[in-house]
């Protein structure tokens, strides 16, 4: 056998081994994530709240309790997280929420939120439904829409 064939064979085997390793690692991380999500739902409670403001902020600047910052890994303390300022009963608090829920939360409206501690897991509209944002169009969908308008 020639040397280039042996080298190619070794490279292919290494790439296959890496892909198998990534698959196993990914499935373990997915199971871990699902378990954490299930644990969060066990202790979750539903609250009615008036959303005052929402924005993406650095964890340090969000005004969370000191213990939240201490429990967060140091490399994540400077990252931006979705923060919601809401009035729950007579108290105004800063809350963190899931990124997919952050887009659904309306500002200056009342919502029912499923929460665990200061983390918002899910929201529902109190009076009427929540306004969902339209899905972003891909480049090809935009081009097709332009051509469809020109044809009419």
pLDDT in tens, 102-114: 888 888 888 999 9
Average pLDDT score over the chain? 88
DSSP 8-state assignment for residue 2: -
Q: How far apart are CA 120 and CA 118, in angstroms?
A: 7
What is the percentage of the chain residues whose pLDDT exceeds 70? 93
Note the pLDDT of residue 72: 87
pLDDT in tens, 75-101: 888 889 999 999 998 999 999 998 888
Same domain, 38 and 48: no
Query: Is residue 137 in some structural domain?
Result: no
Q: How far apart are CA 65 and CA 59, in angstroms?
A: 11
Are the beta carbons of 23 and 46 closer than 8 angstroms? no
pLDDT band, residue 4 (cuts 50/70/90): confident
Task: Over range 52-64, report the average pLDDT.
Answer: 88
Q: Give yes or no for residue 65 having a pLDDT over 90.
A: no
Task: Over range 52-81, report the average pLDDT.
Answer: 87
Domain that holds residue 29: 1-42
Query: Is residue 106 in some structural domain?
Result: yes
**What are phi and psi for residue 112, nearest 5 degrees?**
-100, 125
Note the pLDDT of residue 19: 97
Same domain, 25 and 77: no
Are the beta carbons of 107 and 49 closer than 8 angstroms? no
Nearest of 80, 102, 89 to residue 45 by alpha carbon: 89
DSSP 8-state assignment for residue 74: G
Say how many domains are in the chain.
Answer: 2
Q: Give yes or no for residue 132 having a pLDDT over 80.
A: no
Query: Is residue 133 in some structural domain?
Result: no
Same domain, 60 and 110: yes
Q: What's this model's pTM, rounded to 2 decimal places? A: 0.67
Note the pLDDT of residue 52: 93
Query: Is residue 130 in some structural domain?
Result: no
Same domain, 16 and 37: yes
Q: Give yes or no for residue 136 having a pLDDT over 70.
A: yes
Q: Give yes or no for residue 49 having a pLDDT over 70.
A: yes
Note the pLDDT of residue 152: 64
């Amino acid at each position: 056998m020639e040397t280039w064939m042996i080298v190619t064979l070794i490279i292919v085997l290494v790439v296959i081994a890496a892909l198998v390793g990534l698959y196993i690692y990914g499935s373990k991380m997915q199971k871990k994530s699902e378990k954490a999500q299930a644990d969060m739902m066990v202790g979750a409670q539903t609250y009615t709240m008036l959303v005052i403001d929402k924005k993406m902020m650095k964890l340090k600047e969000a005004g969370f309790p000191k213990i939240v910052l201490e429990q967060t890994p140091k490399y994540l303390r400077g990252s931006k997280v979705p923060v919601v300022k809401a009035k729950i009963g007579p108290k105004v608090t800063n809350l963190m929420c899931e990124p997919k829920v952050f887009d659904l939360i309306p500002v200056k409206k009342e919502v029912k939120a499923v929460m665990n501690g200061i983390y918002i897991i899910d929201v529902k509209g109190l009076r009427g439904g929540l306004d969902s944002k339209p899905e972003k169009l891909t480049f090809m969908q935009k081009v097709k829409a332009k051509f469809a308008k020109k044809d009419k």
